[in-house]
Amino acid sequence: MVKIGNVLYHNRNWLFPIVYLFLFIPFTQVFEHPNTAMIIGFIVAIIGQATRIATIGLVYIIRGGKNRRVYAEDLVTTGIFAHCRNPLYVGNILMLAGLGIASNSLLFIAVIIPAFLFIYQAIVRAEEDFLSNKFGKGYDEYTKDVNRWLPSLKGLGNTLSSMDFKWNRVIIKEYNTTFIWLLGGLGVLYMHFFRNPDLYNIAEHKVFFIAAFAAIVAFYFIARYLKKAKIIVSD
């Protein structure tokens, strides 16, 4: 599993965008009405985004690796990492699962989400192997107290209130992920309008889709400019 995780980690930059394409492949529906799928799915996705925002706003951990290999300079155990060892990945999974549910595709829910979970499990095992070898007993003790996937809510209120939340770091570190899932969500919404003309009048909502797309793109470029121009800087 560790070897598989290292391979997947090395290739994840092109692997995950491919997963998004499956959102738009016509397939058997899960829910009778697309509204049900979208309500449930978007709620799950928003919870995932909120998880990532809370994690990054309190304390940030570098997940990009080094030379596309698993790497870490420090062992982060504070903030949301005191409640879950992989909160950023949990957020990613919830966002993708939410979009999959919203797409109302049995293919995505029954095949792609389980495959995505396997990919993350393998990547996490590779990261854990690296962290255990580098940080030794300190990391092993951390894993005994904190779950790999299921977040513990015990003491979460104290964690949130006792640390400084930094929105500047959220904007700089999270704008790209937010842009991708919002664009995916808008695409899923448009897909349902396009495929169900008997339920939705897409012509009447043309202005909404154009405005929403423009707002998402504007958010991306404004955040990117603020970062590149160093108008907003992270710690």
Q: Would you state the pLDDT for residue 5?
A: 77
Chain centre distance of CA 228: 23
Contact criterion met (CB below 8 Å) for 63 and 13: no
DSSP classification of residue 205: G
The 10s digit of each residue's pLDDT in 71-129 is 777 888 899 999 999 999 999 999 999 999 999 999 999 999 999 999 999 999 999 98
Dist CA 107 CA 131 (whole Å): 35
Q: Would you state the pLDDT for residue 64?
A: 58
Dist CA 13 CA 16 (whole Å): 6
Cβ neighbours for 29, distance < 8 A, ≥ 6 positions apart = 37, 104, 105, 106
- What the block records as the tokens of 51 is 């998880």
The answer, yes or no, to whether residue 148 has pLDDT greater than 70, is: yes
Q: Would you state the pLDDT for residue 107?
A: 94
The answer, yes or no, to whether residue 150 has pLDDT greater than 70, is: yes
Annotate 147-168 with DSSP letters as a single string: -SSS---TTHHHHHHHS---HH
What is the SS3 assignment for 225?
A: helix
Q: What is the percentage of the chain residues whose pLDDT exceeds 90?
A: 69
Q: Would you state the pLDDT for residue 67?
A: 60
109 to each of 22, 106, 185, 192, 196, how far by Cα in Å?
10, 5, 16, 16, 20
The answer, yes or no, to whether residue 4 has pLDDT greater than 90, is: no
Contact criterion met (CB below 8 Å) for 120 and 62: no
Q: Can you point out the beta strands (E) in 20-63?
A: none
DSSP classification of residue 69: B
pTM of the model: 0.91
Contact criterion met (CB below 8 Å) for 232 and 172: yes
**Token match 């970062």: residue?**
227
The 10s digit of each residue's pLDDT in 12-70 is 777 777 888 899 999 999 999 999 999 999 999 999 999 999 999 998 776 556 666 77
Kindly tell me the sign of the dihedral angle through the C-alpha atoms of 206, 212, 214, 217: negative
Contact criterion met (CB below 8 Å) for 94 and 48: yes
Q: Would you state the pLDDT for residue 108?
A: 95
Q: Which long-range contacts (CB under 8 A, 24 or more apart) does 212-216 make?
A: 212/186, 213/183, 213/186, 216/179, 216/182, 216/183, 216/186
Dihedral over alpha carbons 19, 221, 231, 54 (to 10 degrees): -40
Assign 9 a pLDDT band (cuts: 50, 70, 90).
Answer: confident
Contact criterion met (CB below 8 Å) for 105 and 22: yes
